[in-house]
Structure 1
Amino acid sequence: MMKLLCGGVIFTLVLSYYIYMPLPASVSEPWKLMLVGATFRTATHLADLSHSLGLVHHVRVLNLAVTSFESFVPLEFEDLQTEDTEFHGVQVRVYMPQRRDSTLRRAVVFIHGGGWSLGVPKLGSYDLLCRKMAVKLNAVVVTVDYRMVPDVHFPVQYEECLQAARHFLQPDVLARYSVDPERVAVCGDSAGGNLAAAITQWIGQDSRDNDVRNSSVDHLKNDSRDDVQDSSEGGGIRFKLQVLIYPVLQPLDFNTASYQQNWGVPILYRDLMARYWLEYLGADASLLHTVLLNNHTALDESRADPHRSKVDWTSMIPQHMRKHYRAVFPRTGSPSVLRDVPAMLDPRAAPLLAEQEILKMVPGTYIMTCEHDVLRDDGMMYVRRLELAGVSVTHRHYDDCFHGCVSFAFWPSYFFVGIRAIDDYIAWLHTHL
């Protein structure tokens, strides 16, 4: 009996040691976050072990764990009609409220996060989130089930989200779902925020180019050129708004103040975010240590020079958030990285690197950032760049929030800060969309 008791005490102590981790005093519901963090760490360790033994890619193990967890989330908001279909060959689910009237509805295109690798958009928390948006906004919600790592890499995820969005924005498709073409928004969290920002930039630029072409056509028509064809068919509709929830926007600096401050805060650790980037861009995993040191953007790397001001967090985030942290850019580094992985400088992968002329075409924006998140400064720099481009930006920062909180706003992982964050951005959409 004494041995059993001692064994129980030792097991409890070991378990407590494994679960416990020091967290910032201001983080919301720290013990819940410790439990979630320990669960995710366990899944990550098992995935890495399986990968190292050559059994299965670690992402597949993690996705299995995510799917198993999401299956416990109960279905709510059942008064909806759902349709699983394809938009230009891309899998999507369309949520349509049962309540109908003669007026056209608003709509939201939702793109899920998960490091371009994880996530089950038609199950669990993301499914419930889309249902909640559809009911609260009385809106048509489209969730994009894009393919992910390890099956595909950049630019496939970007292209599939763009294809699905462009298909939905066609006048005949919007009419089929009774959607007002002037009231369509795009929303995404984390890597989904990255994809949402990137496709919004492209659609804004494409709409501008289409307007220019149409203006030229009208001018030529006025000159009685009968042989001129109208190029306006099938184009011109753009998003009215975008909502970016703790978006990941750049891979050039893994030592921003928020990366330095929150490197070990669950659920998104600094080294894990760098791994996600390398896998998304199809880069060699052995580059992890190099990019964590910012050797890929060392001061002698001329390829990075045109973009340095776009990721200069020392001038774009407030002093009270910079605290004592300093920029980390070695004098000499590894110039082969940007040569071998040029997508690191591609605005389709890193929307923060877009030129100012492109940002001017971005619609009204809501950006959510969390204090205890390595990606905090990505979002804050984008807020500043959009403001400088003349874009109307609503920035909501949560001092007690952590990365991924929106996915933990439903039972069994019930964080009140996640519920508050969801309610806040839905209220903003209700007012502005």
Structure 2
Amino acid sequence: MDIITAILIIGFALMNSDIPQGVANRGKLHVVHGMFVGIAIVVCIYLWNCYSSVIRSGSPGGSEDGSWRPVPPILHVTELTFSEVPVRVYEPTAGSLGLRKGLVYINGGGWALDTASEVCRHIAKEAETTVVSVGYRLIPEHQYPTQKNGHLLSPCAQVLIYPVLQMADFNLPSYQQNHAVPILFCGRMAFYFLQYLNGDTSVCQDVLEGNHIPAEMRLAFKEWFSPEHLPPECRVRCHRQHVHSALITTEVYHKIKDRLDPVSPLLEDNTVIRLTPPAFILTCVYDMLRDVGILYRKWLLDLELEVTWHHMPDRWLTFPSATWAVDRTLNYVKTL
């Protein structure tokens, strides 16, 4: 593949993306999207296994925690193992009058190769909190549900940053409105879900159209997934009621049913949700995952559970908006 072909592919991808006018830093998002397309081209040129092996065998940064900057003197960074699970601990060097708060940072993945250090450093410094960044086992070497074993604990609070809470309905308003907004596209999201859960990626289109959910099961959660539970401003932008096919069979459902419930808290019943700790939820208007976070918040409020919600009305989650998001997360951590 020559340079001209690569440029044409990147240009085509940029023209077919949909970045709403209300998005802050639209130019930067165009650049990032183009970079991701360029990376995808490189991956196509080289064998993926060789390419990922080279990336993951080395550290992208210049310090022991993967950052390009040296560790500041006010922090101490240590590589440890907790029950054979590798962790990186960020501790403020200043003394504490009592017990210091602890925060377990679990990276959501998605091309994040040793890039969490700056966030963990910032939280540890500003919130005077010991941060434990978990190096959970990764695919393809460790397939789901290996990542869960030995990595989970009983938290006193949960901080959910644009959370992924279900794979039952990919036709909520936020999926329709932002299906072509970089960086995470709707089809790509369904594919990643199936790939991560050892599913059959050949049924990706059926999952997008909702053909993987039997009618009786859909009726059971229809009330919780109703767009009527969303704020009016989340329903006005090019949202249409999705009509499910009358030809739905159980074949697709049986292929993925064992993977559906464990990754879909929104399909649980009230008795399970009542056991969850206080929650902090952050959503973004131009994000495909927006609505599931908002629906989860409503469910927690209906059960009279403690929940703090922050919504980013004109941003996407990177560049200057990242500071906005991290600051609000820090303020919440300080209250614990």
- What is the TM-score with the length of structure 2 in the denominator? 0.86
Instruction: Kindly state the Cα deviation for residue 288 of structure 1 after the two structures are TM-superposed.
Output: 1.3
Identity fraction in percent: 30
Residue pairs, 1:256-335, within 5 angstroms: 256-297=172-213, 299=215, 302-310=216-224, 312-323=225-236, 324-335=239-250
Does structure 2 conserve the Cα–Cα contact (< 8 Å) formed by 1:93 and 1:142?
yes
RMSD over aligned CA atoms reads: 3.1
Please say if 1:35 is aligned against 2:28.
no
Q: 1:133 aligns with which of 102, 107, 123?
A: 123
What runs of 5+ residues in structure 1 fail to find an aligned partner?
1-10, 166-202, 204-238, 409-414
Q: Which amino acid aligns with 1:363?
A: P
1:153 aligns with 2:153: no
Larger Rg: 1
Cα 1:350–1:22, aligned 2, differ >3 Å: closer, same or farther? closer
Is contact 1:400–1:417 with CA below 8 Å preserved after alignment?
A: no
CA distance in 2, matches of 1:344, 1:308: 20
- For the residue of structure 1 that corresponds to 2:76, the secondary structure is strand
Equivalent in the alignment of 1:80: 75
**Deviation by residue 1:282-337 (Cα, 9 ceiling, x = unmatched):** 011211111111111253xx455544434x13232123212233134322324222
Instruction: Name the structure 2 match of 1:425.
Output: 329
Task: Work out whether residues 110 and 142 of structure 1, in 8 Å CA contact, stay in contact via their aligned partners in 2.
Answer: yes
C-alpha deviations, 1:205-257, integer Å up to 9, x for none?
xxxxxxxxxxxxxxxxxxxxxxxxxxxxxxxxxx2221100001100111111
Alignment match of 1:247 (pick from 153, 156, 163): 163
Write 1 or 2 for the structure with the bigger share of helix: 1
CA contact (8 A) 1:278 1:284 kept: yes
Deviates more, 1:332-341 or 1:26-35: 332-341
Task: State the shift of 1:39 in Å.
Answer: 0.7
Find the residue that maps to 2:24 and give its secondary structure. Answer: coil
Q: Structure 1 residues 63 and 278, CA, compared in 2 at 3 Å: closer, same or farther?
A: farther
Pair 1:374–1:394, CA change in 2 (3 A): same
Match of 2:293 in 1: 379
Q: Aligned equivalents of 2:128 and 2:134: distance in 1?
A: 19
Partners of 2:105 and 2:132 within 8 A in 1: yes
> Counterparts of 2:172 and 2:245 in 1: how far apart (Å)?
14
1:44 to 34, 40, 44: 40
1:369 Cα shift? Answer: 0.4
Q: In the superposition, relative to structure 1, how do residues 345 and 38 fare at CA in structure 2: closer, same or farther (>3 Å)?
A: same
TM-score, normalised to structure 1, is 0.68
In 2, are the aligned partners of 1:77 and 1:128 still within 8 Å (CA)? no
Q: Is the Cα contact below 8 Å between 1:76 and 1:128 reproduced in 2?
A: no
Summarize the Cα distance change of 1:282–1:16 in structure 2 as closer, same or farther, 3 Å threshold: closer
CA 1:386–1:127 in 2, change beyond 3 Å: closer, same or farther? same
1:378 maps to amino acid: V
Secondary structure of the corresponding residue to residue 295 of structure 1: coil
Question: What is the count of residue pairs matched by the alignment?
Answer: 328
* 1:337 aligned onto 2:333: no
